[in-house]
Structures are given as C-alpha cells and as structure tokens.
Structure 1
Amino acid sequence: MALLLLGLLGLWVLLRTLTRARAPRPAPRWPPGPRPLPLIGNLHLLRVSQQERSLMELAEQYGPVFTVHLGGQKTVVLTGYKAVREALVGTGQRLADRPPIPIFQLIQGGRGIFFSSGPRWRAARQHAVRTLHGLGVGRAPVADKVLQELRCLEGQLDQYGGRPFPLALLGWAPSNITFTLLFGRRFDYQDPLFQSLLGLIDDVMVLLGTPGLQLFNLYPRLGALLRLHRPVLRKIEEVRAVLRALLAARPPPGGGPVHSYADALRQQGQGRDPDGLFSEANVVACVLDMVMAGTETTSATLQWAALLMGRHPGVQDRVQEELDRVLGPGQLPRPEDQRALPYTNAVLHEVQRFITLLPHVPRCTAGSTRLGGYLLPEGTPVLPLLSSVLLDKTQWETPGQFNPGHFLDADGHFVQREAFLPFSAGRRVCLGERLARTELFLLFAGLLQSFRLQPPPGLGPAGLRTVPAPAFTMRPPAQVLCAVPRPRGR
C-alpha cells in the first residue's frame, strides 16, 4: 500500500511539473512607438550624427519608454531620469546582459568585460574590481601615481611656453595612468610605442563612430558584403599585437604580489580554469577592453574640461581663485580636498553632465522583464539613454547650458544630484568610476593651479569649437589651446 501511495505521489509530481512546463508564457506587451517602414524600420526618423537627440524627440511623442525599429531590430528606448534609473537599478540581473552587437561580436567573440554577458562577464568583472582595488584605486597609492603623472604633463606643457598646444596632448596623462595599472609601467611621452598605441586607439574610436560601422551593425550581411568592417578589424589586430608584446614582456606569473592588472589575469590563469575565463584569448580581450575604455573616456573628459575653461573664462577665474585660497601655491591637490573645493568640484561634475560623453550603451533582457508597465521578452535590446538623464528638463534648471550652479546650493555648498549618471548605474555601472573620478579631479585641479587655459592668439573664447567630433564617444573636436603659466600656482 505504501509503495502504491508513493508511486501515485510521484506521478502527481511529474504531471504537475509537465503542466507547469507547458503553461503558456504571458504574451509580450510592447511599449508604443512609430510605425516601422519595410527594411529600414524607423531609421528615417533618426539623424545619423545625432541619434540620441532624435530619440529624445521621439520620447516627447511616445513617452519615456517606447519601441523603435532599428532596421529589422525591435528595440526599447528608455529616456529621462525616472525611467532609466528604474530600469538600471530596479531590474537587477535581468537587464545586465549585452545584445550581440555585430562588430563587437567580430572583435571580441563574446569575450572580455564590456560586451560580454552571463557567467563570463560576471567572472571577468569581479576579477577586475578586486584587482583594481588591490592596486590602490580609490586610495593613496593611485592618487600618488596620478600626481606624478600630473608633474610629467605640466613639464610637457611648459615646453610650449604659453604657445598653442594640441588639445589631444592632455589625454596623454590619463592614458599613461591606465597603462601603469594595466602593465605595471608608465611610458615616456616620446616613446614610439606609446605614441603608436595612442594613435591606434584614436583610429579605432573614430572608425567605430562612422556611418559605415553603424550600417554594418544594422545590416551585418550587407556590411560584410561591402567590407565595411575591414578597416576597424585591421586596426584592432594592430592593437592586439602591441598588447601581446606588452604582456609577453611581463615576468612570468608567480605567487608573489601583483603589480598590474595583466599580472593578475595571468596569475589567475595558472590555476583551475575549466571555462577558459582566463585563457590567453580572454586575457587579451579583457586587456583590450580596459585599454580602449580606460584611455578614451577619461582622456576625452579632461580635454573637454580644458576646452570649456577656455570657452568660459569667468568660470575658470572662480576655480583658480578657490584653488589659490584653499590650497595656496605649491600645495598639490589631494582627493580629500574635494570637500574644501566645492566650486571646483561642481565645475568638474558639470563638465561631465554637459558633454554627455557616452550617450548610450545597449543592454539586453536576460529573461521576461517588466519595464514601465510593459512586458519585454527575453533577448530584447534596450537603450537606456544616459544623455536624456543628463539633459532631463525635470532634473536640471538649464540642461542645455554649461552651468556649474547645477551642483551648488544657495550657500555655495556642493550638492550631489541623483540624476548625475555619466557612469551609468546598477550592475553594469562603470567599473573604472572611482579611478576616473580621482584622475579627473587631481589632473583638472592641478592644471588650473599651474596654468591659465585660453584660446590661441587672434581667437576669442566663443571661437573655440564645442560641437563633438564624430567618434564612438562624444569627444571634443581637434584644436589648439594655450597653457599660460601662472606664477601664483607654482
């Protein structure tokens, strides 16, 4: 009798399991959006050079959560602080994946950190976070490295004696800090390998922002037929060759202290690694991601900061008055000085808000996901439009203007704003945020202590160009500035 009851119970459990497995899934409920045309979808509604602005205009008609067809790809767009933050922070792992972007699938094959998903991404990210913390990011050791690099950058600017210098030169210092953390060594600014690597990174970033690459991502078969991906793949292979040479130059991994991110990756690969997370191919992929992201974003932001100081001399006056009053001549800034420098801190935050350096990076639903009252099926590409948060009219008094007052209260104290999301939020928040914040503050404050940044002779502040150059990020256009030494700052 007991055996019969157990058998019936087992049969009941099996039937319940099968019934649940066959239960129909809830039908997707898509947000509203413009009607797509055959083949092109809604591409006719998007300006090639200002897609994010076009999407923000569509949001005024269809709401903060809407559907747009990018060619044949059905994509959900999130705009405004409330919708973007709710999605990034409130969905956990369900919106932590990346969609398979064709060009990055070719470049990385699902490896690396920034365009990978699932267990591979989680393992690579956790390892990177632990390693950067161990190397002193967010603490005194890295701050000291940044200040050493500041002195090297000042020495380079001194050679111009106040004459015009190329704006891109300011990117050398943050790039060298990244290389120091990745490879355990800094480069002399005139080192051919340093200049070659920076040139290759620049070429890749420009190529990734071209209309041809956008067309390739939308129509990969047509793009492959037209060979639109070939130029960037060639440049990527040149970057990989340099990275492999730098990795090979490091001493063999052992059990001693780790001096660089590359050393940590190789050391981890010496142990049990059944999933190949620390294989040579994935090591190179992770280093490639860190090189590209770690150099481009901070370098471009520092260039923008200098350009905007030349464009707004009154703001620069107030920053330098505060630096002179609080720090005095000869005293280098430290990370802990940010509280005592509220206006300087506000200006640097406003630079990052105003430039919207990386307008959006796509996400992908890892399962059925509810967003804004809609139900999206697994694998839906989602665009959280960060530029729409940084320019949200409900969050900022003058979103289209460069206004440091956005981060100051009536008494001149610094105010952290919840809608300040240049590093994104949630599970995919930029893993280099702490490093970038330290670098930007120390380099920006140190430069303005020592130099007056102004347009070249014959050009007024309004003559400095601030329309972003075409690239993967919203980088400043190439031009020159003058760094005139300030005796009080020395």
Structure 2
Amino acid sequence: MALLLLGLLGLWGLLGLWGLLWARARCPSSAPRWPPGPRPLPLIGNLHLLRGSQQDWSLMELSERYGPVFTVHLGLQKTVVLAGYEAVREALLDTGQQLADRPPIPIFHLIQQGGGIFFASGARWRAARQFTVRALHSLGVGRGPVAGKVLQELVCLTQELDGYRGQPFPLALLGWAPSNVTFALLFGQRFRYQDPVFLALMGLIDEVMVLLGSPGVQLFNACPWLGALLQLHRPVLRKVEQVRAILKTLLESRRPPRPGAGPVQSYVDALIRQGQGDGPQGLFAEANAVACTLDMIMAGTETTSATLQWAVLLMAKHPGVQGRVQEELDRVLGPRGQLRPEDQGALPYTSAVLHEVQRYITLLPHVPRCTAADTRLGGYLLPKGTPVIPLLTSVLLDKTQWETPGQFNPNHFLDADGHFVKRAAFLPFSAGRRVCVGERLARTELFLLFGGLLQRYRLLPPHGTSPAALDTEPARAFTMRPRAQALRAVPRP
C-alpha cells in the first residue's frame, strides 16, 4: 500500500512538472527577461561601481560594456537603465502609460507620502497633473499674462544688479527672478527681494536641494534600512517641515471667507477652490494641496533658476558667443528694445544658444520611472514595478545625435544658413506622459530673462579672472547647478 501511494505521488509530481513546462512553452513571454549587467555584491549591489557625484557618467560607462539597456542593482533594488537616444525615445514615447509611474523613492515617499505631482503615481498623480496643467493654462502660462510677470521681474532684477555698479555680484542672485515668477503664479503676488518670507523660502529651498544631492541621502535611497539606522534622512526632513510650515501659512492667508468667493488668481486659489468642490476624496485636502504646492516650488524655482545661472556663466566664459547674441538682439529689436515672446522666431542664434545651454549642462540627469505593468523594452520583458532610469545625460551627449557632444556649441541648433533647427534628441524636459509640467513656463522665463539681461549688460568675470578660468564644474546638489561664484554685469553703451 505504501509503495502504491509513493508511486501515485511520484506520478502526480511528474504530471505537475510536465504541466508547468507545457505552460512555459505555450506562454514564453510570461517569464521576465532581464537585460545583462554587472554582478551585484551582497547588500550593496553595484553601488561600488557608481561615483557618488557623477552617477550618470558611471552609468554611461557601464552602457558601453553592457549595451543601451542594462540592469544594475542599487543596493537590493534591481533597476534597469536606458542609455542613448534610441533606447530612451522608445521607452518614453512608445510605451504609453506602461512607464508613467514612479518607483517609491524612499526620501520622497517620506516627504510627500505618495502625494503631490512629481513623485506620485497612478490615479492620484494623473488627477493632480491634469489639474495643474489646467490651472497653469488658466493663469496665462504660455501667453501674455505670464510674459508680463516675467518682464516685470526682469526690471526688478536689473535694478538689483545696477546696485552693484559693475562690481562682482553672486551668481545665485540671478535665481531670484525666476523663483519670484513661480511664487507670483503660486500665491498671486510677487515678493520684495528683501521680504523675510522670500529670503526664508530661498534659503530653505537651497538647503533642501543640497541635502537631496548629498551622499547621505543617496545612501538612504539605496539602503533605506541602513539610512534609517544612521538617521541620514533627518536633516532634509527638518528643512522640508520648515518649508511646509510657510506654505501652510500662505495657503491659509489665501483662503476666501466663503466658498467660491472672488476670481482664481493663483495656483493656490485654484487648489482651495478645487478642495471645496466634488473632487476625488482627499486629493485636494490640505495635506495634498501642500504637497502639490511644495512640488511646484521645488521644481519651479530650482530648475529654471539654475539654468539661467548656467546661461549667464557660459556667456561670461564664451565672450564671442555672447557678442553674437547681443548683435542679433540689437539688430532685430532695434529702437523698440523691449523683448517679447513672439520675437523668438526672429532670433535664431539666441534661441540656439539657450537650447545649447540646456543640452550642455544636463540639469537633471535622471529621474526614475517605474513599469505600471509587464513591459517590453529593447527586447527584454520587465515585470510590473521595475524601476527604470531613462538616462537623459546619455541622450543630450549621444555621439550619434550631436556633432560635438562634449563641447558648448550653439551650431548644434543651426543649419548652414543660420536658421534654427529643432533636434529630436533635445530632451532636457524629458518626454512622454511625464514630460515636465512647467516646460512652457520655463521656456518663456528663460527666453525673456536671458535676452533681457544680454540686452542690458556685458557679462564678465571678476577683475583679474580670465573667462577660461571660470568654473563650470557642477556643484553637488539634487540638480547639476553651477558652483557658487561671482560675475560682473557692466551696463552696455
């Protein structure tokens, strides 16, 4: 009897194995197929192969060995990296919603608890993003009203620079103008540059961005258990709480005495009005309203501010390029002088220089995505929930797309006749479902502020410093911002 039972069990086992193999043969695509990559070490994975402040360059070096689609282990997290224009384009533009989620990045999960716009996922993210796009459009982004705010801020910035009388000013001062444009959109009014709230916000944003790029926070994201043990996340959380306290005060000050009172004049007004309506439960409650505003402040100030600083720094470093931009501005604008958004088409060299600045600096090298379903990329099958890094540095420096990728060369965006040329591999704002929600605002700000500054000033190094000696190595922060240094803004005749 025992032998018979053992025989039956053995037969059932063989039938089960045969069934599994048959199902695998019938559905070969059901098993994940991972890209190649370096062998991970216990606990740390491949972190030993990544240089802390230049992770994008380390990943580009790995792509030369393992191909445009490869796997790395960031601590215990298995992650797929996409390198080069073709691999990134396929992923961002051809996968639809399959690559529209974010992975749960530990530090941002602690800060936002799944809320906000930039690090949320799923239905909550889609609703917040759609609301933000509509709100920005209603406030005039991409149209005359916002251009007026930018030009008003340009006047305030030039008054501040004139106070230096051609002597060195801190490069970071240029970030005040685009930051104040963002504040005006969010809160319905600009701040005086000496306003304590403005100065507190600018200081806190700077500290948060530096902390987010620090080795401690990077280690916390890669090994949350170790980071939590060492309390590596505490400094940034303390600073974020201070920002959040200011935002709550500003939100409360904008709250109307009765629902629906008055026109919507700011992003915060729109959030409050939406919270009084019939939106999805909890989406526009105070906690998520603060989370959305926090995202808009962090992204809307840091990215455009850093790009404007880079643009001015590169003009001081390349005086020949600066001279050509100023000659074009003088010739096209003539006695009118006042720059307008619609002038961009008549200023091909100026536009080419601004585009080349954004290509050359790679401000935000990589922000990870996450597969929302089983997804095919580059011939591999990635299971749902796989973190994916579209490496934008590798696109903006792709040797197959750019003639001189490692050089600052505005001719990348000009044809033989000097006409501006759009380039498909120009993706500083990313692409697809997660393209930067503030792209139109950033383009308007950069064009008007950059052009206005070059109309008025010659941008020079400090006395005794040659243009070649200016430092263009990025500082360690969440973005690739320029290092702290000084320039001179000398009024043009």
TM over 0.5: yes
Aligned partner (choices 154, 157, 161) of residue 153 of structure 1:
157
Cα displacement (A) at 1:219? 1.0
Question: Is it true that 1:433 corresponds to 2:439 in the alignment?
Answer: yes
Partner of 1:68: 72
Cα separation, 2, equivalents of 1:105 and 1:55: 24
Partner of 1:12: none
Cα displacement (A) at 1:376? 0.2
Question: Is it true that 1:102 corresponds to 2:90 in the alignment?
Answer: no
Partner of 2:404: 398
Query: Aligned partner of 1:130: which letter?
Result: R
Query: Aligned partner of 1:271: which letter?
Result: G
Aligned partner (choices 472, 477, 482) of residue 483 of structure 2:
477
Cα displacement (A) at 1:329? 4.3
Query: Aligned partner of 2:362: which letter?
Result: T
Aligned partner (choices 134, 138, 141) of residue 134 of structure 1:
138
Deviations 1:23-55 (CA, angstroms, capped at 9, x unpaired) = 897000001111111111111111111110010
Deviations 1:413-466 (CA, angstroms, capped at 9, x unpaired) = 000100000000000000100000000000000000000000000000011100
Partner of 1:143: 147
Cα separation, 2, equivalents of 1:327 and 1:140: 18
Query: Aligned partner of 2:132: which letter?
Result: A
Aligned partner (choices 300, 320, 331) of residue 326 of structure 2:
320
Cα separation, 1, equivalents of 2:222 and 2:69: 21
Partner of 2:466: 460
Cα displacement (A) at 1:273? 3.6
Partner of 2:424: 418
Partner of 1:87: 91
Cα separation, 1, equivalents of 2:47 and 2:222: 10
Farther-moved stretch of structure 1 (259-268 vs 324-333): 324-333
Q: What is the count of residue pairs matched by the alignment?
A: 467
Task: Provide structure 1 residue ranges, at least 5 long, that are not aligned to the other structure.
Answer: 1-18
Cα separation, 1, equivalents of 2:405 and 2:118: 29
Conserved 8 A contact 2:401-2:425: yes
Cα separation, 2, equivalents of 1:274 and 1:392: 43
Cα separation, 1, equivalents of 2:194 and 2:321: 33
Partner of 1:6: none
Partner of 2:42: 38
Q: How does 1:71-470 map to 2 (within 5 A)?
A: 71-252=75-256, 253-470=259-476
Conserved 8 A contact 2:178-2:304: yes
Cα separation, 1, equivalents of 2:396 and 2:28: 41
Deviations 1:278-316 (CA, angstroms, capped at 9, x unpaired) = 011000000000000000000000000000000000000
Cα displacement (A) at 1:345? 0.4
Cα displacement (A) at 1:225? 1.0
Farther-moved stretch of structure 1 (39-48 vs 287-296): 39-48
- The residue matched to 2:334 in structure 1 has which SS? coil
- The residue matched to 1:328 in structure 2 has which SS? helix
Query: Aligned partner of 1:42: which letter?
Result: N
The alignment yields a C-alpha RMSD, in angstroms, of 1.3
Cα displacement (A) at 1:330? 5.0
Query: Aligned partner of 1:409: which letter?
Result: D
Cα displacement (A) at 1:256? 3.7
Paired-residue identity, %:
78
Farther-moved stretch of structure 1 (40-49 vs 442-451): 40-49
- The residue matched to 2:81 in structure 1 has which SS? strand
Query: Aligned partner of 2:472: which letter?
Result: T
Cα displacement (A) at 1:275? 2.5
Farther-moved stretch of structure 1 (249-258 vs 412-421): 249-258
Query: Aligned partner of 1:246: which letter?
Result: L
Conserved 8 A contact 2:255-2:272: no
Conserved 8 A contact 2:29-2:381: no
Cα displacement (A) at 1:192? 1.2
Farther-moved stretch of structure 1 (244-253 vs 27-36): 244-253
Cα separation, 1, equivalents of 2:399 and 2:184: 40
Partner of 1:7: none
Query: Aligned partner of 2:116: which letter?
Result: G
Cα separation, 2, equivalents of 1:224 and 1:438: 41
Deviations 1:84-113 (CA, angstroms, capped at 9, x unpaired) = 011001001000000000001100000000
Partner of 2:19: none
Partner of 2:17: none
Normalising to structure 1: TM-score of the pair?
A: 0.94
Query: Aligned partner of 1:396: which letter?
Result: W
- The residue matched to 1:67 in structure 2 has which SS? strand
Cα separation, 1, equivalents of 2:29 and 2:469: 59
Cα separation, 1, equivalents of 2:335 and 2:397: 37
Task: Provide structure 2 residue ranges, at least 5 long, that are not aligned to the other structure.
Answer: 1-22
Query: Aligned partner of 1:68: which letter?
Result: V
Cα separation, 1, equivalents of 2:83 and 2:29: 28
Query: Aligned partner of 2:82: which letter?
Result: L
Conserved 8 A contact 2:192-2:198: yes
Query: Aligned partner of 1:54: which letter?
Result: S
Aligned partner (choices 45, 49, 56) of residue 53 of structure 2:
49
TM-aligned CA distance change 1:412 to 1:274, over 3 Å:
closer
Cα displacement (A) at 1:127? 0.2
Cα separation, 1, equivalents of 2:123 and 2:343: 39
Cα displacement (A) at 1:222? 1.1
Deviations 1:211-268 (CA, angstroms, capped at 9, x unpaired) = 0000001111111111100000000000001111111111415254210000001100
Cα displacement (A) at 1:137? 0.3
Normalising to structure 2: TM-score of the pair?
A: 0.93
Cα separation, 1, equivalents of 2:277 and 2:368: 34
